[in-house]
Structure 1
């Protein structure tokens, strides 16, 4: 298991800390846990959904994200995970392309488990179809972990690192975990 401190894009913002951990569960399953410390209770959470619906625009509220890239390839997936327990996966051929809004959904990654917890969020994803279709092994994957945290008057953007002048979760330079 590898863990990462996610950093706020606004370095002056230190009120919330966020740690994420990644673990390969089986040949094609990935588990990610996000641990939040919000002592001032600044984060606004969406209401819980009755099931695990796939929904667009989850990033407009508090949302955790997993970017799954492939070594030496342009295509990637963006997985959005809401504390409401809604989720979505998007496919991109290259950096932010196609530019559709919402982005094009991907059906080659499936949800095993998604749960909001007292510490944050836990998810298990089945990457079998994605990995088989592209003939991938774990060592071909690299992963970026990010979060949009909705506060009363602003959003805070957290990532493994921020190397762009604006918060940009699609920047592959900031996806630090290699499987």
Structure 2
């Protein structure tokens, strides 16, 4: 299991959120599992839970994201996972080029667990839906808080505006195999 501290983009600080920790677990032969723990959630806006389905524009409110780029190429996939149970996956041929929905035979799953001062979001992505491994990954989140305040979280941020597609954000790795 890998644990990563996400940091807010300096140009978009959060209102009350004090930190995000992401745990990536790749030892399951069927699922890639990610847990985001958000602390300081008093003003966090969470979308209403609904039916699991594909949807666009999930990043416009609280959304958890994973970008996966095989180590032998420039093409990558983007996974958007909402606490609402909505999700989407896209493929890109190169940096922000050739965007199209990723063909996925089995849907990812996401579960929200709320405490008084923290929220856990557990996601599972079918390993068969992922690009080739080993892969570099960007583990990210967009958080919306009261008043429309949005913060953008990643392990690393490039200079300038928030850009999770930037190569600098691909700061973690999923090995080809990860024995327990």
Short-chain TM bin: 0.7 to 0.9
Q: Does 1:178 align with 2:180?
A: no
For the Cα contact (< 8 Å) 1:110–1:127, is it kept in 2?
A: no
Mark the runs of 5 or more structure 2 residues left unpaired by the alignment. 175-180
The aligned counterpart of 1:150 is 144
> Cα deviation per residue 1:5-57 (whole Å; 9 max; x = unaligned)?
10000278363111100011433521000001125x121111111x2111110
The aligned counterpart of 1:24 is 26
The aligned counterpart of 2:178 is none
Secondary structure at 2:24 match in 1: strand
Distance 2:72 2:160 in 1: 24
Aligned structure 1 segments of 4 or more residues deviating by more than 4 angstroms:
none
- Provide closer, same or farther for how the CA distance between residues 157 and 129 of structure 1 changes in structure 2, counting only shifts above 3 A: closer
Distance 1:58 1:129 in 2: 19
TM-score (norm 1): 0.85
For the Cα contact (< 8 Å) 2:82–2:110, is it kept in 1?
A: no
For the Cα contact (< 8 Å) 2:25–2:34, is it kept in 1?
A: yes
1:96-111 to 2 correspondences below 5 Å = 96-98=96-98, 103-108=99-104, 110-111=106-107
RMSD, aligned α-carbons:
1.9
Mark the runs of 5 or more structure 1 residues left unpaired by the alignment. none
The aligned counterpart of 1:115 is 111
The aligned counterpart of 2:158 is 163
Distance 2:13 2:80 in 1: 23
> Cα deviation per residue 1:98-136 (whole Å; 9 max; x = unaligned)?
2xxxx42101474353111123210111131544xxxx3
Distance 1:143 1:44 in 2: 26
Deviation of 1:150 (Å)? 1.0
For the Cα contact (< 8 Å) 1:65–1:79, is it kept in 2?
A: yes
Q: Does 1:45 align with 2:29?
A: no
Deviation of 1:62 (Å)? 0.6
TM-score (norm 2): 0.84
For the Cα contact (< 8 Å) 1:109–1:127, is it kept in 2?
A: no
Secondary structure at 1:143 match in 2: strand
